[in-house]
Every structure is written in C-alpha cells, then in structure tokens.
Chains A and B, each alone.
Chain A
C-alpha cells in the first residue's frame, strides 16, 4: 500500500473519531438542557432519574451533572446530599461560586457551620469583590447562628452598607445581634425557687404570664381544698389524704414546669432567631445567583 493511501486512511480515521466524539458531547449537552427544562418545571424526581442515568464524558459535563443533582436535591429540601453534590463542583466550572455558596448554606442550615466555613475558605483573596463581600456576610450569619458574638462583630466591621445585594440583610443581622445580646439570661433554678414560694411566679419570671396566673389558680385551689378538708375532716380522712397528695403533685409539678419554662422560652427565642438569620443569609444568595 502506498504511503499516500496510508495517510488518507489515517486522516479519515481521525476525522471520524473527532466527529463521533463531538456528536456524543452535543447529545449530553442536549440532555442537560432537557434536564434544566425539567428542573424549571419543578419535576425534581424525573430530573434526578435522568441525571442518575446520564453518562458524562468530560470533567465539565461531570461538573454540570453534580451541580444539577445538587440543585435538584436542594429543591427537594434534601440538604445533606445536596451539599455533597454541590461541593463536588470543581473550580473550573461556571457553577463553582453558586455551588460553593449553596453547599455552605446547606451545611449552615443543618448547623454544621464548621463545614460551611471550610467550603467558603475555597474563595481566596483573588476572588472578586462581590464574592469577598458575600463570603464575609455569610461568615457573619454563621457567627450569629453559633452565637459567637465577638466573631460576628469582627465580620460586621466589614459591612459596607453599599453592596446592594446584602445591604438590607446586613441591617437585619445587626438587629438580630442586638436582640440576642439584649436577651436576658434567666436561671431555671431561680424560676423553680420563685414557684416554690408562690406557685406560678416562676413562670411569670420566665416570661409566661398567662401560664403563671393559671398555675397559681389551680395549685391555689387544690391547696385551699386540702386545707378545707383538713379543718373539717381531720388529717386521717382519706379525702384529705387524696386531696393533699394531689396538691403536692401539682405543687411540685408547677415548680418543675417553671424551671422548664425558662428553657422553653430560651429554645423558642433561639428557634425564631435561627430561622430569621438563615432566611436573611439565603435572600442575598438568591439575589446574587438567581
């Protein structure tokens, strides 16, 4: 076989290889477009099914698949696996910044702020100003979630108020900081002692006035009944014994309830604050990465 024929065959072979390869790539990107369409219509289960069955060939496609799986799981509120897939998106991907921030947010939502900080640590000093400001804002939110007041103040110093994406939420975080630092710390022991002295007073101290008054009335009524039965029927009468027993149970229960009320009020406050902080961490992310 002549040398020229060999060259032609080799050339044709290369052309064929390239064209077949590019067809396969186009088809994967077509499929990704279709999956995006499914996600846009909130068909999460179907999108996930397609993504799991998609064979990727290039790192860029793998990144797109990881991003889409993470985003689908995020839509289904499966935050832990969502964070996993989003954090797999490589720095070369156009989705990198969005994926990183949302993976970090997912961890913050699950109260794994250490993991969030590690993920956001990927953005170094070379990052754009927008990213640096957003990173600082997210760190401030996490510090508030962890009730690390000093750390929050350090990050709050960098709040410019000029970055339109986070400006209003920066004010809100400062407001939450004030509410958290002004929240009086109440002692369950003090509440218990107060309720032992005057039934219901500990609940009023805990901030539950209505519960306190109601506790005072029912424990007071039971004690008054026992006193009445004791005066009329004597201490050995079974009615008095039953009534006194009940009064004792309710009296001790009221002391226990007052101590628990302090913790409950604190829990309710923390729950409300955490949800507000998380919401205000989320809004700028959706603004920056629509």
Chain B
C-alpha cells in the first residue's frame, strides 16, 4: 500500500513541477482569446496583444481568427501602435464570410488610417465599407469618422454631406435639426474656409515694395522691421559713398542691403505659407469640434 501512495505522490510532484502551464501547449485559440480579454480588461494591453496574436496563430477557424485580429487591433490601438494595428487588420480583410466581423475590420482599418494621417486611405476604406454594408454604414461612429476624415483631407463638401447624414440619422426634434443644419451649412460653406494667401504673391509684393509681402501675409510688424532694415542699410551705403568711402559703402552698406532685401522676399513667402497652415489648422479644429459635439448630442 505504501508503495502505491509513494507512487501517487511522485506522480503529483512530477505533474506539478513539469506541467507546462506557461500559457501554451494545452490551450487553444479560444482560450487565449479569453485570456486576452481578461488582460485587456485589466489594462495590460501589451500582454493582451500577445494573447490575441496567440489565438490568431493557433487557430485555423476563420471566425476566431477575425475576432482575435480585431481584439489585437484594439489592444495595439491602446498602446498607440496604429501602423501595426493596420498591418495586422489587413491579414483578415479578405475573409468575408462573417459580415459583422468584416464590417468591424473595415471600420478599424479606416480608423487606423485616420490616426496615421492617411486621410485619403481612410476615406477609401469608408467608401468600400459603404459599398459592402450600405445599411450598417449609416451609424454614428462610421459617419463621424467619415466626416472627420473629410475635414482632415480638406474635402469640406464631403464632410458637410456626412454631417448632414449624421443629423438625419440622429432624428433630432425639428427645431434642433433645423438649427444644426443651418450651422453646418454656414460652417462648411466655402465662404467660411480661410482664404489662402499665395506665397508667390507675397514674394512678388516684397520684391517691388519691401515689407508689403509681410503685410499681405498678415505680419505688418515684421514687414515694417524688414523695410526699415533695408532703408537703414541703403542709407549707410549712401552716407559712406558721400564721404568718399566707396569700397566700404559697397561692401558694408550694399552687402547688408542685399541680405535684408533677398531675405525679406524669402521671409514673406515663408510667412504666407505659415499663415495658411495656421489658419487652416484652426478652421479644421472648429469643424472637428462641431462634429464631435454633434456626436455627443
């Protein structure tokens, strides 16, 4: 009897010490998916991402693969790895036998493209999504993303169209809906967009009348300073020439003048470009805030 007990104890000891409990060997894809969900819930996104990838790697079931891939993309999104998330999502983009998962993959793909700054790709993905799933497309999150991508790609008419669709979808009371439509039409109107300053025009103004290019770009103070510097350097050259210091006048006065003159032309063009970027960024921010507020409502 004591031999049998000893044998059992040895077996228990071996099973405990050699048991490959390292999250592999015995588990299958669905269990790893569950593990990943638990880790994700606890905020361990890095390890959750690995668990989801294990689930993807171990299973040959298409549905599970798609679920694992979507879950992994969510984990990667949490750690800001949108490029990796996009590349991983593309692996299951061809699997279309489960429409609800395929829809989600396409949406996540568009979202990652948006976050990566590839706005035209995001719009392309959303157009495909609309083509494949015309009914599911009309949802708050998809339309919001489409409108935001339109704003960032500077396709304001597309963004306006999506915002109007969003207002219709939300079925507001007539009064609120009217006021939102009115605001949308005003905000997204071409007349509300900042007028672009031409860099070439700014440079041309500064070529013929120093400082005016800066004024055109919206920086009168800098224009005044540049014109003043040119006047002072020219005055210095003239003063030195008046005192028979021809060589010094040429080198010092004209040397400084040409530097301020050509530098002024370049600076005017640069400032015009900067102003355009700043104003466009501000306008986009207003539109984005409006879209997001609309979604909150």
**Nearest Cβ on chain B to A224's Cβ, whole angstroms:** 5
- Collect the chain B residues with CB atoms within 8 Å of residue A20's CB: 14-15, 18-19
With a cutoff of 8 Å between Cβ atoms, the chain A residues found around residue B46 in the complex are 45-46, 49
Residues 265-282 of A contacting B (Cβ, < 8 Å): none
Given contact pairs A228-B246, A232-B244, A46 touches B53 in the complex (Cβ within 8 A): yes
* Residue A5 interfacial (CB < 8 Å): yes
**Which chain B residues numbered 7 to 27 have a C-beta less than 8 Å away from chain A?**
7, 10-11, 14-15, 18-20, 22, 24-25
| Complex: A27 Cα to B244 Cα, angstroms | 94
CB distance B25 to A225 under 8 Å?
no
Given A34-B54, A46-B46, answer yes or no on A55-B22 (Cβ-Cβ < 8 Å).
yes
Which residues 6-25 in A have Cβ within 8 Å of B in the complex?
A: 6, 9, 12-13, 16-17, 20-21, 23-24
Across the interface, A225 reaches (CB within 8 A) one of B3, B18, B251, namely B251
How big is the A interface, by class?
35 or more
Most chain A CB neighbours (cut-off 10 Å) among B14, B18, B53, B88:
B18
A-B interface contact total, Cβ < 8 Å: 75
Indicate if the CB atoms of A232 and B84 lie closer than 8 Å.
Answer: no
**Chain A residues near B3 (CB-CB < 8 A):** 1, 5-6, 9
Q: How far is the CA of A210 from the CA of B18 in the complex (A)?
A: 74
Interface string of B11-54 (1 = CB under 8 A from A): 10011001110101100000000000000000000100110011
- A34 to chain B: which residues have CB within 8 Å? 24, 54, 57
CB <8 Å contact, A27 and B49: no
Residues of A within 8 A of B49 (CB): 46
Contact B14 A17 (CB under 8 A): yes
Cα-based distance from A43 to B88 in the complex (angstroms): 11
Closest to B25 in A: A27
How many residues of chain B get a CB closer than 8 Å to chain A's CBs?
31
**Chain A residues touching B, majority SS:** helix
Q: Is A243 an interface residue (CB 8 A)?
A: yes
Interface: A183 (CB within 8 A): no
A252 within 8 A of B: no
Q: Which residues of A contact B7 (CB under 8 A)?
A: 9, 12-13
The chain A residue sitting closest to B246, CB to CB, is A228
A243 and B24 in contact (CB under 8 A), knowing A16-B14, A23-B18, A37-B57?
no
Asked if A78 is at the interface of the complex by the 8 Å CB criterion, the answer is: no
Of B10, B20, B50, B248, which one neighbours A243 at CB under 8 angstroms? B248
Query: Is B243 part of the binding interface, using a Cβ–Cβ cutoff of 8 Å?
Result: yes
Neighbouring B residues of A41 by C-beta, 8 Å? 87-88
User: Is A221's beta carbon under 8 Å from chain B?
Assistant: yes
**Which residues of A sit under 8 angstroms from B15, Cβ to Cβ?**
20
A6 partner residues in chain B, CB cutoff 8 A: 3
Q: Using Cβ atoms and an 8 Å threshold, which residues of chain B touch A1?
A: 3
B245 contacts chain A at the CB level, 8 A cutoff: yes
| B252 CB-CB contact with A under 8 Å | yes
Contact between chains at A31 and B18 (CB < 8 Å): no
For residue A49, which residues in chain B have a CB less than 8 angstroms away from its CB?
46, 50
Verify B252–A225 contact, CB threshold 8 A.
yes
Bound-state Cα–Cα, A26 to B54, Å:
16
Q: Which 4 A-B pairs have the closest CB atoms?
A: A27-B25, A228-B247, A27-B20, A20-B18
Listed A/B pairs (19) with beta-carbon separation below 8 Å: A9-B4, A17-B14, A23-B18, A24-B18, A24-B25, A27-B20, A27-B22, A34-B24, A34-B57, A37-B57, A46-B46, A221-B251, A225-B248, A225-B252, A228-B245, A228-B246, A228-B247, A239-B248, A243-B248
- 19 more A-B residue pairs beyond the given contacts A13-B11, A26-B25, A225-B252, with a C-beta to C-beta distance below 8 A: A9-B3, A9-B4, A13-B10, A16-B14, A20-B14, A24-B20, A27-B22, A27-B25, A37-B57, A41-B87, A46-B46, A46-B49, A55-B22, A227-B247, A228-B246, A228-B247, A228-B248, A229-B245, A233-B245
